Structure 1
Amino acid sequence: MLKTISHFFHGSRVSDGSDAKIGHAEGDGVTLHVQLRVLDRDPYLCLADERLRLISVFDDLRYDRADMDMLSGPMRRRVIAKLVPLGFQQVSGGVLENAALDVRMYMPKFRALGASPFDATRDTPRRPQDYYILTPTQTACQFIDHYPVDEAVTAIKALIVKHPINLLRVSDYLEKSGKHQIFAGAIGHLKFVQREAVEAEPLRSRRALR
């Protein structure tokens, strides 16, 4: 465990994608990845992971462990407004579709007040070419579940300097065995990285969407 945790502070290997459950797109999907990079120009949005097909929507700077983890109305409206110019149309409350590319974006339904952020997508199946639109905390949980621990930590560090996450909630819902417990050893380091990020610009002056 000590050898694994040491990677958190000294970098990690580059993934070959073998641990990711969703692979890179081909053809039009590659073009869409490029188009979706326009989201990164908006401080409230980012294409968080191309392989896992995750879009993160900024939530807040600071959290309490009891805070609800869900896409609020303003968060949903923000991402919808940015996806419409890319050819997506809202076909239901939580689904946007680009019919020409046969790609859908899913905003999972809010499950329950005490639901685990690791279960956010459990009841929202998707096809290999589709995307999830998630809170930063839910996005981080996808990293933890789909990547080796050292790569998950590296990905989360890159995320939290743009979109802070509820580390208290993540910690509360980690499983008591396996790689979740190895990951638990990095929580303190991630809290430090996030605290420094939110105390500096550009995050310090950012406010939750209203």
Structure 2
Amino acid sequence: MIDQLKRLFDRKTYAAVRYDAAKQHANSADMVAVLNADPYLMVADAGLRLISVFDDLHYDRADLDMLSAPMRRRALKKHAPFEYFQRSGSVIENCAADIRIHMPKFRALGASPFDALRETSMRPQDYALLTPTQAAAQMIAAYEVDTAKERLAALVLKHPANLLRLFDFLEPTPSKAAVREMLGELLFLQRAAVAKEPLKSRRALR
């Protein structure tokens, strides 16, 4: 009798765990769909778990590159229906799913976008919320040129990045020549995208 009760409770516990996991997975997929449908947000890279927030259409290479308060508010508003809450100034968290969205802290005026996540402790299930320029830098650092070019093209067609700033922070070595060439090609692609809708009339978050 005792053994039968143990087996019964074991089955119930197992079913509950599987249901919660499936529900969380569905919520995650729904969240990605909602973000990608928003003109100001997108999952820039699912593998690297990067979320980009639209910044601007035109840049100067010396422009400040950081998440503004309106950019943070937009992200929090879109994540709130999926049980994400502001845990701290730099973290949005879903406690039930054990997922955190990290927002890099502002470090210095001349900080490299390649260093945006240098001091961030991300777990495999976590995301990073970044400017398009910071997201682009992470992809350049993570991928070979051909793969990076494909993913960056998808990014800049929706969220233009400060490509000249990225160019300035590249190491001046022969090994980076292909990356510099890629950024030049993306600059033309981005300029063409910004000159027409849906980007042409989009404005920075205020």
**Partner residue in 2 for 1:18:** none
Q: CA deviation at 1:162?
A: 0.2
CA RMSD, Structure 1 to Structure 2 (Å) = 1.6
User: Does 2:179 match 1:180?
Assistant: no
**Partner residue in 1 for 2:97:** 101
**Partner residue in 1 for 2:192:** 196
Q: Specify every segment of 5 or more residues in structure 1 that has no aligned partner in the other structure, as ranges.
A: 1-25
Residues 1-210 of structure 1: matches in 2 within 5 Å? 30-31=25-26, 32-177=28-173, 179-210=175-206
TM-score norm. by structure 2 comes to 0.86
Instruction: Deviation per CA, 1:10-69: give whole Å up to 9, x if none.
Output: xxxxxxxxxxxxxxxx96775314432211111000011111000000000000011000
| Ranges of 4+ aligned residues in structure 1 off by more than 6 Å | 26-29
Counterpart residue type for residue 135 of structure 2: T
RCO greater where, 1 or 2, for CA within 8 Å and sep 6 or more? 1
Identity %: 56
Structure showing greater Rg:
2
SS for the counterpart of 1:67 is: coil
Distance 2:134 2:23 in 1: 27
Counterpart residue type for residue 103 of structure 2: M
TM-score norm. by structure 1 comes to 0.84
Instruction: Report how many residues are paired.
Output: 185
Distance 2:92 2:121 in 1: 14
Q: Specify every segment of 5 or more residues in structure 2 that has no aligned partner in the other structure, as ranges.
A: 1-20
Distance 1:122 1:181 in 2: 24
Which one is further off, 130-139 or 181-190? 181-190
Q: 1 or 2, which has the higher helix percentage?
A: 2
Instruction: Deviation per CA, 1:144-166: give whole Å up to 9, x if none.
Output: 01111111011111100100000
Distance 1:179 1:143 in 2: 16
SS for the counterpart of 2:146 is: helix
